[in-house]
Amino acid sequence: MKKSKYLYPYEKNGFYILSGSQWNVYKVEEEVFEKIKNNNINDMEEEVVQRLKKELLLFEDWENEDDIILDKFNEAIYGNKLKLTIIPTELCNFRCVYCYETHNKGKMTDDVEQAIVKFAKRNAKDYSSVDIEWFGGEPLLESSRVITLSKQIKEVCKNNKIPMVSSMTTNGYLLTQDILSQLIDANVLYYQITLDGPESIHNKMRPLVSGEGSFNKIYNNLLDAKKVDKYFKIAIRINVSKDNKDSINELLKKLDRDFGDDTRFTVIMETVKDWGGDNECVSNDTLLEDRGDLEEEMAILGDNLKTHSNFSESAVGRMCYSGRKNGYVINFNGEILKCARAQYESDEIQKKNLIGQLMPNGKIEYKSSDAQWLKIYWNIKYDGKDCDNCWAKPNCVLSICPLAKVANIQPKCLLKEMGKSIDVYINTTITQGKYKIV
Ligand code: SF4
Ligand code: SF4
């Protein structure tokens, strides 16, 4: 018998283990904790051994843990869930200071919309589910198209007896009660809307094209959304950098007061970052080095308004769509891309990103291979550190931004990114009762 190579013991008001491969926190007896910590697992009770084996915390000597993890990776990468990111328009009514997009390319035509419906009709039978993310530009500049296209794809999925769910990243400025209600009817149920601080800070970070502030309109839309008597989820995302860090607490208190009584609203806080696994981009020195403070803020807030950290997702959950075989972006002009962001990178990267072109009959005319986006990056090395002995490696591997791989950029070290927030994250998980007892 041997223990998993990817365990992080944590001792505070009890005995816990974070599994770097399952990304679960487990509560164990003190005796079990000591045995695992001291690598003395041969005289454990059989019942306990069976429970720990089931959770992949212990293995038989002949088992290869990495093979088992790789099976899981492969399922995530090659599984037959279709994940489409659809960009109905590249235009935007905002000019956020950290945005990498140019907002001058254009918007979808009726012909491309019809080609997407034909694509769905041709291919839906090959997938077990369809997951659509509406992205932009600002997708709600084209809300009618999103609603009609979403309804048509929903119908195709219904005819093929597969589930379809969709989500949207929007700036929230045009998300009125009426539009929200229509979107929900078209199965657009999950929203991410960014507020970058209290009014004065947000307005500097996320102004309208005219330069005017956007905070009040977004905030009133969020308050109005509470009146919509339907199921949806809105994650209010706060991008934190050195510039707005000190004002975040004020915003969190306001959000807690106004939305703490409605479980459809949650808060996600993320550090503004460069190619770190999200669609944010900056290249100055305002990046936070350690996200521990954010996790601490979120832990305090957790009583009313529910907070959510990207780190509470498993690696498979956090894995970018572009690293999945069936993950594509359909651009407003029918281009099939792997990564929404890579279209703003160098010509060489853009070429690797352009997988094909959607034709009017719903077929894809392929232009380049997607292979380099999918390779498992198991042998990462970060700053000369020996990743082989790292307890977080399985989670780190799938968290890597595929664009960074394609561009030959040094991947981000998950441990470095999490910093002291690992302990805060475990503590919050325990406080919120989200651990498993084994
Ligand atoms: S490949 Fe990287 S930059 Fe592109 S969407 Fe995924 S995580 Fe973001
Ligand atoms: S890059 Fe960092 S988190 Fe990832 S495996 Fe290496 S040491 Fe661990």
User: What span, in angstroms and rounded, lies between the C-alpha atoms of 401 and 339?
Assistant: 10
Nearest residue (CA) to ligand 2, atom 5: 393
Contact 347, 364 (CB under 8 A): no
Partners of 85 in beta bridges = 133, 329
Average pLDDT over the chain, rounded to whole? 88
Ligand nearest to the CA of 339: 1
pLDDT at position 292: 59
pLDDT at position 411: 78
Using one digit for the tens of pLDDT, what is the confidence trace for 175-223? 999 999 999 999 999 999 999 889 998 999 899 999 999 999 999 999 9
Residue 132 Cα distances to 177, 188, 268, angstroms: 22, 9, 20
Question: Which tokens in the block code for residue 195?
Answer: 């507020």
Q: How far is the CA of 273 from the centre of ligand 2 (A)?
A: 18
Q: Is 275 in the pocket of ligand 1 (CB under 6 A)?
A: yes
Among 279, 354, 375, residue to substitute to test ligand 1 (most atoms within 8 Å of Cβ): 279
Strands 25-27 and 15-19: antiparallel
Please give the number of the atom of ligand 2 that sits closest to the Cα of 396.
Answer: 4
Alpha helices in 132-206 (DSSP H): 143-159, 177-185, 199-205
Nearest residue (CA) to ligand 1, atom 7: 277
User: What span, in angstroms and rounded, lies between the C-alpha atoms of 231 and 19?
Assistant: 33
Q: How far is the CA of 391 from the centre of ligand 2 (A)?
A: 8
Q: The whole model's pTM is what?
A: 0.88
Partners of 17 in beta bridges = 9, 26
Across residues 389-397, what is the average pLDDT? 89
Across residues 43-49, what is the average pLDDT? 89
pLDDT at position 272: 65
Q: How confident is the model at residue 104 (pLDDT cuts 50, 70, 90)?
A: confident
Q: Is 135 in the pocket of ligand 1 (CB under 6 A)?
A: no
CATH class label, 79-321: alpha beta
Handedness of CA 357, 359, 365, 366 (dihedral sign): positive
User: What span, in angstroms and rounded, lies between the C-alpha atoms of 393 and 47?
Assistant: 29
Query: Hey, where are the domains in the chain?
Result: 2-63+375-437, 79-321
Please give the number of the atom of ligand 1 that sits closest to the Cα of 275.
Answer: 3
Please give the number of the atom of ligand 2 that sits closest to the Cα of 393.
Answer: 5
Contact 360, 371 (CB under 8 A): no
Using one digit for the tens of pLDDT, what is the confidence trace for 222-269? 999 999 999 999 999 988 877 777 888 888 889 989 999 999 998 887
Please give the number of the atom of ligand 2 that sits closest to the Cα of 390.
Answer: 8
